[in-house]
Amino acid sequence: MPVLYGSFQSVLKDKNGKQLFYPRVLRTGNVSTSQLSKEIAAYSSLSPGDVKNTLDNLVTVVSQHLQSSESVTLDGFGTFRLVMKSNGKGVESANEVSASQASLTVRFLPCSTRHLDGTMATRSLVTGARCVRFDRANAPASDGGNSGNSDGGGSGADGGETPDPDPAA
C-alpha cells in the first residue's frame, strides 16, 4: 500500500505574498492495539491475547520511564522522550521558572542510520515507502511520481522525476 498524499495551501505567505501549496499525508484510518496484536501474532508463535498483553505492558513500562525523565529507545523502531512545550509565558528570572509555564508532550524520533560522511541514510519506518497522490492513486502504470522521495516531503520542484502520465492518454 502506498502512502497517500494531497495538496494543501499554507496559511502563511511567502516573501512574494503568495500562499503556496505543499504535499500533506492523508490518513485513511487508525489501527487499534487489538488489530496490531492479531497481525503480530500471525508472525509469531504467540496468541493475539499474549501479544496484546505485551503491548499493553509496553505502554505502561514506557510511560513509567518517560515520567522518570528517561528517554526510551526501541531498537529498530525509534526513541521516545518527554519535552516541555512552552505556553509563551516567560518570566524574568530563572528562580521564577515553573512547570506551569509549559505542557508535557511526547516526542518520537524514528530509528535511523547514517552514511560515513554523517548524512542520513535511512529512517526505519519510512524506508522504501512509495508516495501516491490520492487523486491519482488509481492511475494505471503510475508510481505516483514520488517513489524516489521516501520522506513524503518535497520542495515543490520536480526533482528530476518523470511527470505523472496524462490521465486522458
Distance CA 144, CA 39 (A): 28
CB 17 within 8 A of CB 151: no
**What does DSSP assign to residue 65?**
H
Q: Are residues 38 and 16 in the same domain?
A: no
Instruction: Tell me, yes or no, whether 93 lies in a domain.
Output: no
Predicted local distance difference test score (pLDDT) of residue 169: 39
Q: Which of 115, 84, 112 minimizes the C-alpha distance to 99?
A: 84
In a domain, 75, yes or no: yes
Question: Which residue range(s) make up the domain with 160?
Answer: 1-30+125-169
When comparing pLDDT for 72 and 169, which is higher? 72
Verify that 23 and 70 share a domain, yes or no. no
pLDDT digits (tens, 9 = 90+) for 34-74: 999 999 999 999 999 999 999 999 999 999 999 999 999 99
Q: What is the chain's mean pLDDT, rounded? A: 80
- Cell (9 digits) for 3: 502512502
pLDDT digits (tens, 9 = 90+) for 148-159: 333 333 333 333
Question: Which segments of 1-134 are extended strands (E)?
Answer: 3-9, 21-25, 72-74, 78-86, 102-110, 112-114, 120-123, 131-133
pTM of the predicted model over 0.75: no
**Is residue 153 located within the same domain as residue 116?**
no
CATH number reported for the structural domain that contains residue 46 in this entry: 4.10.520.10
Same domain, 39 and 64: yes
Q: Is residue 138 part of a domain?
A: yes
pLDDT band at residue 110 under the 50/70/90 scheme: confident
In a domain, 9, yes or no: yes
Helix 33-42 to helix 48-66 angle (10° resolution) is: 120
Question: 87: which 3 cell numbers?
Answer: 505556553
- What is the distance between the alpha carbons of residues 132 and 146, in angstroms, rounded to a whole number? 7
